[in-house]
Structure 1
Amino acid sequence: MTDKPGFRKTSNPYYQGPISDHFDGLRFFNPDGVEPGGFRDLLKWQLGGGRARWPRPVVSLIPPAKPDSRVFGDALRVTMVGHATMLIQAAGLNMLTDPVWSERVSPFTFIGPKRAVPPGIRFEDLPPIDLVLVSHNHYDHLDLATLKRLHETHAPKILTPLGNDAIIRRGAPDARITTMDWGDRIAIADGVTVDAEPCHHWSARGAGDRRMALWAAFVITTPVGKIYHIGDTGFHGGLYYEAARQKHGGFRLAILPFGAYEPRWFMKGQHQNPEEAVQGMKLCNAAHVAGHHFATFQLTDEAIDAPVKALDVALKAEGIDADRFRPLRAGEVFDVPVV
Structure 2
Amino acid sequence: MKQISVTPLQSRNPEPISPPAHWVGNPPSSFKNPWPSFAKQHGLADVLKTRFSTNRNFVPVPETRDELVRVRKPDWGRSLPDWQQGLKATWLGHAGFLVETACSASTTRVGSSAEGEQEARGIRILFDAVFSERTSPVGFFGPKRYTPTPCELSELPDVDLVVISHNHYDHLDIATITHVYKRQKAAGKDIHFFAALGNKQWFLNAGIGITADEVTECDWWDSQKIDIEGVGSIDLTCTPTQHFSGRTPFDAGHTLWSSWVVEDPQSNKKLYFSGDTAYKATTAATACPVFKQIGEIFGGFDLSMVPIGLYSPEWFMSNVHCHPEQSLEIHKDIRSRKTIGMHYGTVRGGLSAQYEDVREPPQRWQACCEKEGRWGTECGLCDVGETVLAA
Does the pair score TM above 0.5? Answer: yes
Match in the other structure for 2:93: 82
1:116-195 to 2 correspondences below 5 Å: 116-154=146-184, 155-171=190-206, 172-175=208-211, 176-189=214-227, 190-195=232-237
**One of 374, 386, 389 as aligned partner of 1:320:** 374
What TM-score results when the alignment is normalised by the length of structure 2? 0.77
* Amino acid in structure 1 at the alignment position of 2:127: T
**One of 20, 32, 39 as aligned partner of 2:44:** 39
The answer to whether the 8 Å contact 2:70/2:384 transfers is: no
Deviation at 1:277, TM superposition (A): 0.5
SS in 2 for 1:287: coil
Match in the other structure for 2:320: 270
| Distance of 2:153 and 2:141 partners within structure 1 | 23
Compared with structure 1, are the counterparts of its residues 68 and 274 closer, same or farther at alpha carbon in structure 2 (3 Å cutoff)?
closer
Q: For residues 194-248 of structure 1, what are the alpha-carbon distances to aligned partners after superposition, in whole Å with 9 as ceiling and x for unaligned?
A: 0111100000111111100000110101022110111100103141110001110
**One of 345, 365, 381 as aligned partner of 1:311:** 365
| Distance of 2:258 and 2:40 partners within structure 1 | 16
Quick check: which has more Rg, 1 or 2?
A: 2
| Distance of 1:201 and 1:159 partners within structure 2 | 18
Match in the other structure for 1:5: none
The answer to whether the 8 Å contact 1:191/1:221 transfers is: no
| Distance of 1:21 and 1:196 partners within structure 2 | 16
Deviation at 1:61, TM superposition (A): 4.5
Between Structure 1 and Structure 2, how many residues are aligned? 320
Q: CA RMSD in A?
A: 2.0
SS in 1 for 2:289: helix
SS in 1 for 2:248: coil
Compared with structure 1, are the counterparts of its residues 222 and 312 closer, same or farther at alpha carbon in structure 2 (3 Å cutoff)?
same
Match in the other structure for 1:233: 277
Gapped regions of structure 1 (runs ≥ 5): 1-17
Task: State the percentage of identical aligned residues.
Answer: 29
Deviation at 1:266, TM superposition (A): 0.7
Match in the other structure for 1:11: none
| Distance of 2:77 and 2:322 partners within structure 1 | 33
Q: For residues 237-292 of structure 1, what are the alpha-carbon distances to aligned partners after superposition, in whole Å with 9 as ceiling and x for unaligned?
A: 14111000111010001111111100001100000110001111111110001210
Higher relative contact order (CA 8 A, sep 6+): 2
SS in 1 for 2:201: helix
Deviation at 1:122, TM superposition (A): 2.3
Deviation at 1:163, TM superposition (A): 0.9
The answer to whether the 8 Å contact 1:100/1:143 transfers is: yes
Q: For residues 26-79 of structure 1, what are the alpha-carbon distances to aligned partners after superposition, in whole Å with 9 as ceiling and x for unaligned?
A: 220011233432111111111012232212464665332133689864312211
Deviation at 1:123, TM superposition (A): 1.4
Farther off after superposition, 64-73 or 300-309: 64-73
What TM-score results when the alignment is normalised by the length of structure 1? 0.89
Deviation at 1:323, TM superposition (A): 4.1
Q: Does 1:21 align with 2:21?
A: yes
The answer to whether the 8 Å contact 1:238/1:280 transfers is: no
The answer to whether the 8 Å contact 1:233/1:257 transfers is: yes
SS in 2 for 1:149: helix
Farther off after superposition, 66-75 or 284-293: 66-75
Q: For residues 132-171 of structure 1, what are the alpha-carbon distances to aligned partners after superposition, in whole Å with 9 as ceiling and x for unaligned?
A: 1100011100111211111101252111001111122222
SS in 1 for 2:358: coil
* Amino acid in structure 2 at the alignment position of 1:181: D
Gapped regions of structure 2 (runs ≥ 5): 1-17, 103-121, 185-189, 281-286
Compared with structure 1, are the counterparts of its residues 35 and 64 closer, same or farther at alpha carbon in structure 2 (3 Å cutoff)?
farther
Compared with structure 1, are the counterparts of its residues 308 and 234 closer, same or farther at alpha carbon in structure 2 (3 Å cutoff)?
same
Compared with structure 1, are the counterparts of its residues 61 and 271 closer, same or farther at alpha carbon in structure 2 (3 Å cutoff)?
closer
| Distance of 2:40 and 2:168 partners within structure 1 | 16
The answer to whether the 8 Å contact 1:238/1:283 transfers is: no
SS in 2 for 1:199: coil
